[in-house]
């Protein structure tokens, strides 16, 4: 049984530490990336991965109990809602005309085809104090 | 509103489980963290989410404002009625132990359940009423401009 304890401990803590690392990397990316689209990318992808690894590690710690069932439900809920929230934010930004750098958006409605060019003013950034 | 396909599908998927979770928090409140206030807010969130995604007219068909306002009063009535009932039994206000004098623990169990139910109904109704009041304002940005 000591060997089983070791296996459970090592796998659960490895997954918890990996999930925490994903979360920290996502937070750093949110703070440090230059514009909106790369920030959304950083926070959404790492958030899902980190959440899954953290719940997996806690499930292994919990064993076959009610806690594990609740953790699995929480994991499913967050796995559905996290990407949906990111989609809503990114969709709202795209529809309101905030396009990624160098991209244009084509709206096809019936016969009509409309191409939206990125606005030059939409990426105005605060002047950074860092040395170039 | 037709282009929010993903949000509509996910909302339909989530409204049921959110209401179920609200009922779990409501009736499991004496064993685990939770209670009437949190359950009411979670219950209202299901309707607010539905209203945000599908529009105010749809959610008002599901949960009409006149029912919301009646429910807000009904919850307070349940809460105060429990207290008045214990007064009538010759005890102090909201003293649940007087319901079953032989076993005060049973009376306390049922009393806290009924009072929390009243709190939950009022909080849910007031939250939905606040959402209706805010969402019924004329929009600052027209829908066509999105």
**Mind listing the pLDDT tens digit for each residue in B34-89?**
688 899 999 999 999 999 888 888 899 989 989 999 999 999 999 999 889 888 88
- Long-range contacts, stretch A78-81, CB < 8 angstroms, 24+ apart: A78/A48, A78/A51, A79/A48, A79/A51, A79/A52, A80/B10, A80/B13, A80/B14, A81/B10, A81/B14
* B13–A84 C-beta distance less than 8 A: no
Six-digit token string for B75: 């919850």
Q: Dihedral through CA B92, CA B95, CA B99, CA B100, nearest 10?
A: -110
**pLDDT tens, position by position, for chain A (132 residues)?**
788 889 999 999 999 999 999 999 999 999 998 888 889 988 888 999 999 999 999 999 988 899 999 999 999 999 999 999 999 888 888 877 777 777 776 666 666 667 766 655 444 455 555 544
Residues in chain A: 132
* A96–B14 C-beta distance less than 8 A: no
Nearest to B116 by CA among B127, B105, B124: B124
Q: Note the pLDDT tens digit of each residue in A85-106.
A: 999 888 888 877 777 777 776 6
Cβ atoms of B36 and B123 closer than 8 Å: yes
Q: Measured between alpha carbons, how far is B13 from A29 in angstroms, rounded to an integer?
A: 31
So what's the pLDDT on residue A132? 45
Mean predicted confidence (pLDDT) in B10-34: 85
Alpha helices in chain A (DSSP H): 2-32, 36-62, 66-95
Mean predicted confidence (pLDDT) in B91-120: 84
Reported ipTM: the value is 0.70
Domain ranges of chain A: 2-117
Which residues are within 8 A (CB) of A126 and not within 5 positions of it... i.e. 6 or more apart? none
So what's the pLDDT on residue B128? 94
* A96–B7 C-beta distance less than 8 A: no
Contacts of B13 in chain A (CB under 8 A): 80
Does residue B143 have a pLDDT over 90? no
Nearest-by-Cβ selection for A80 from B4, B10, B146: B10
Contacts of A96 in chain B (CB under 8 A): 146
So what's the pLDDT on residue A24? 95
């Amino acid at each position: 049984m000591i060997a089983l304890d070791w296996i459970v401990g090592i796998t659960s803590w490895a997954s918890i530490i990996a999930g925490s690392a994903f979360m920290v990397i996502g937070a750093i990316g949110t703070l440090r990336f230059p514009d909106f689209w790369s920030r959304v990318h950083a926070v959404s992808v790492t958030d899902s991965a980190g959440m899954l690894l953290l719940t997996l590690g806690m499930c292994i710690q919990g064993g076959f109990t009610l806690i594990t069932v609740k953790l699995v439900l929480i994991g499913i809920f967050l796995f559905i809602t996290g990407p949906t929230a990111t989609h809503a934010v990114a969709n709202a930004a795209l529809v309101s005309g905030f396009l990624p750098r160098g991209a244009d958006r084509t709206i096809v409605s019936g016969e009509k085809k409309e191409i939206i060019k990125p606005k030059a003013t939409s990426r105005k950034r605060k002047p950074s104090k860092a040395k170039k | 509103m037709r282009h929010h396909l993903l949000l509509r599908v996910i909302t339909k998927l989530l409204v049921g489980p959110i209401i179920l979770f609200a009922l779990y928090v409501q009736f499991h409140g004496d064993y685990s963290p939770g209670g009437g206030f949190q359950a009411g807010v979670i219950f209202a969130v299901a309707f607010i989410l539905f209203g945000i995604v599908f529009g105010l007219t749809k959610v008002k068909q599901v949960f009409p404002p006149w029912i919301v306002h009646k429910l807000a009063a009904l919850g307070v009535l349940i809460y105060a009625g429990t207290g008045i009932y214990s007064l009538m039994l010759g005890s102090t206000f909201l003293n649940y132990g007087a319901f079953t004098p032989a076993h005060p623990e049973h009376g306390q169990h049922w009393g806290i359940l009924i009072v929390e139910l009243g709190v939950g109904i009022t909080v849910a109704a007031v939250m939905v009423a606040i959402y209706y009041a805010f969402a019924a304002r004329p929009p600052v940005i027209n829908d066509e401009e999105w």
